[in-house]
Structure 1
Amino acid sequence: MKLQVEQAELADAARWIARHIPTKGIDPTALAVLLTADGDGLTVAYSSIEVSASVTVDAHVIDGGKAAVSGKIFADILGALPPMQVEISSSDNGIDLVAGSNDFHLNPLDVASYPSLPSMPALSGSVPGDLFATAIANVAPAVDYTTTAMPELGGVRLQPQDDRLQIMATDRYRVALQYIPWQQTGDAVSALLPGQGLVDIAKTAGASELVDLALTEGSAGVQVGNRTSVSRLLPVDKFPNADRAFPKQYTATVTCDVEELRDTVRRIGLLLEGHQAIELSMNGDRMTVQALRNAKATGKARIDCQLEGVDAFGIAFNPRYLLDGLTPIDGPVAIDLTTYAKPALIHAAIDEPSFEYLVIPVRDPAKVAGE
């Protein structure tokens, strides 16, 4: 294999592929990328039981061929090279990367033992690239990457619904969902994709006009330009039925400026430690934001609001959870309320908002004791 390729494009591709590679592995092949040069391009690919990903970049291919090398090292070297043409050549002894006065040699890994790359499943439909990137970023905070008892909580559910795609994540303490336009072109099922891989590929989707999705029974594929990712599915039937968590009716709704509320929550949050909560007390057209039962410091801030349905209402939240729900919203925000102990729904104060965020409040021990 011998070829010439631009550093910037290949470094970007290698860096994206490297995001799919685990940090540790007993078998070096499990940490390797496969380089395939043919025609006018170089394909950088990674494959495992969980996920496969590939990117093809333009290259001047002198001699075609394949080589397998450490994915992380390959990405790190390319990222450190100056922005110029890189010459890559391979032999039985490994591959050499030359860029100007920079010369690197990577030891080879066994190409024959490298797992075969699964093909992209039949396409199910497409979504706008910028909206897909935004939607995945908005629901990502509700993905639980740490749980081992319920790995399904580490997934993001994609559910086609006529002309829109519902994107949902939950860690059992909050539910984040967003709707984006969906153009179906083939068979599609509700699919639960591993969250981390989906978040990584979505970061590159914003610059593309369309993202093609394959949502099948066996696997799911995401194609963004020259980047393709195919992943195994998590069992969607074990995903919590979060749709049922949304209350049928609400007792009250408070509306205020989202930027003012965000800034206020951040300031009062400076007083909090550990698992302390932040309390919102609404009375008519005023909202008081304060730290809930903080023995070390106190502080209050008041902002304008409009409370409808009741004369007064008080509720407390984990401040990080609250901010995660407020961040994707612009303009006026509405918080639908039932009781201080039941989930509240955060959304833009408009008809049919595309983003909704259901969050369980923190129960004030004083109120619990008085029940």
Structure 2
Amino acid sequence: MRGLLQAHLRRLERGLSDAREEFSALRARLDRRENPMPALPATPVHLALPAPELAAALDAVRFAAGTDPELPMLGGVLLDIEDDALRVVATDRYRMAIARTRTTTHDGPHTQVIAPLPLTDAIRALLDGEETAQLAVEGDLLTLGTGDRRTTGRCLDHDFPDCRRLLDLPTGRRARIDTAVFRTALETGPVHASEPPQQDGAPRDLSVLRVTADGTVTVCGDGDDTSDAVAFDRDYLLHALTAAARPTLTLEFGTPATPLAVRRPDDEDTFSILMPVRLSE
């Protein structure tokens, strides 16, 4: 009888999780309808910013961009151009990365455009010096120039998901980590199998994390107490550590159903978030 009750409880929990995912997807669609991206500007937009800072911002988010052909709006990096700053965002639905850098000059209205990944990579390739980068949006054309070099391409004609509600996540449990030590713990520690994302999909390797009372993050193995632990895709965690590019980082945990935030201790405007993953039984 106890086994039947436990099996029933697991089915209920799975149903609740599936319902939560459907609700999140519906809310995301409504967000896009209620907060559509501004139309491509009728007036040209020009801005200047330090090339090393733009390079660092792109490096901090590029890893999270989507590659699913059925979701073309995620196959690029969002450039959100404000008066004195440029925010760049990338997401593949399972993770999101956000960075912000200052501009030195700006002429034109507030603009949001999506640079497709090939254009994003071409822009990054030009940002190898210390000079000022000149960025221009003219209709659906995005141009980046540094010195006498220039690259131009068309922006994606899609609406990018509204990420503003994720810029101010509720404060969770924070734990400071030594990045190299934590990376080694992930690479050599135990992994668990995820449930296949699709009927014919392959399970992913998951790392199950737990924050102890003294603020230490541990990678749980078989037989460990996982009552308050949360599972994440191990490769995605490793990508986030690399992109964060700091010897120490802050991991911010919410509930088992909310994202993990990977934050730099010296830059509150640059961070990534990673959705938890359900363990297979």
TM-score, normalised with respect to structure 1: 0.55
**For residue 354 of structure 1, what is the aligned residue in structure 2?**
269
Q: AA paired with 2:272? A: Y
Mapping of residues 230-309 of structure 1, within 5 Å: 230-236=152-158, 238-246=159-167, 248-268=169-189, 274-285=203-214, 286-290=216-220
Call closer, same or farther: CA 1:336–1:287 in 2, change over 3 Å. Answer: closer
Note if contact 1:158-1:191 (Cα within 8 Å) is conserved in structure 2.
yes
Deviations 1:259-308 (A, max 9, x none): 221222122278879512001111123332145x6xxxx9x9xxxxxxxx
**For residue 156 of structure 1, what is the aligned residue in structure 2?**
77
**For residue 114 of structure 1, what is the aligned residue in structure 2?**
none
* 1:344 aligned residue (226, 250, 260): 260
Secondary structure of the structure 2 residue equivalent to 1:190 = strand
Note if contact 1:257-1:331 (Cα within 8 Å) is conserved in structure 2.
yes
**For residue 363 of structure 1, what is the aligned residue in structure 2?**
278
Deviations 1:3-22 (A, max 9, x none): xxxxxxxxxxxxxxxxxxxx
Consecutive unaligned residues in structure 2, runs of 5 or more: 1-42, 194-201
Cα shift at 1:360 = 0.3
1: CA distance, partners of 2:140 / 2:179: 41
Call closer, same or farther: CA 1:275–1:260 in 2, change over 3 Å. Answer: same
Cα shift at 1:211 = 1.1
Note if contact 2:190-2:219 (Cα within 8 Å) is conserved in structure 1.
no
Q: Does 1:181 pair with 2:97?
A: no
**For residue 246 of structure 2, what is the aligned residue in structure 1?**
330
Mapping of residues 165-244 of structure 1, within 5 Å: 165-188=86-109, 189-236=111-158, 238-244=159-165
Consecutive unaligned residues in structure 1, runs of 5 or more: 1-120, 301-311, 367-371
User: Where is the helix percentage greater, Structure 1 or Structure 2?
Assistant: 2
2: CA distance, partners of 1:316 / 1:242: 23
Cα shift at 1:154 = 0.5
Note if contact 1:187-1:216 (Cα within 8 Å) is conserved in structure 2.
no
**For residue 230 of structure 2, what is the aligned residue in structure 1?**
315
**For residue 117 of structure 1, what is the aligned residue in structure 2?**
none
Q: AA paired with 1:359? A: L
1: CA distance, partners of 2:48 / 2:144: 10
Note if contact 2:134-2:146 (Cα within 8 Å) is conserved in structure 1.
yes
Deviations 1:74-109 (A, max 9, x none): xxxxxxxxxxxxxxxxxxxxxxxxxxxxxxxxxxxx
Q: AA paired with 1:190? A: Q
Cα shift at 1:248 = 3.6
TM-score, normalised with respect to structure 2: 0.71
Q: AA paired with 2:150? A: T
Q: AA paired with 1:240? A: P
Call closer, same or farther: CA 1:168–1:253 in 2, change over 3 Å. Answer: same
Identity among equivalent pairs (%): 23
Greater relative contact order structure (CA < 8 Å, 6+ sep)? 2
Q: Which has the larger radius of gyration?
A: 1
Cα shift at 1:247 = 5.9
Note if contact 1:283-1:313 (Cα within 8 Å) is conserved in structure 2.
no
Cα shift at 1:365 = 4.6
Worse-matched range after superposition: 198-207 or 167-176: 198-207
Cα shift at 1:122 = 5.2
2: CA distance, partners of 1:344 / 1:270: 18
Deviations 1:166-197 (A, max 9, x none): 01111111110111111233215211111222
User: Where is the strand percentage greater, Structure 1 or Structure 2?
Assistant: 1
Note if contact 1:132-1:206 (Cα within 8 Å) is conserved in structure 2.
no
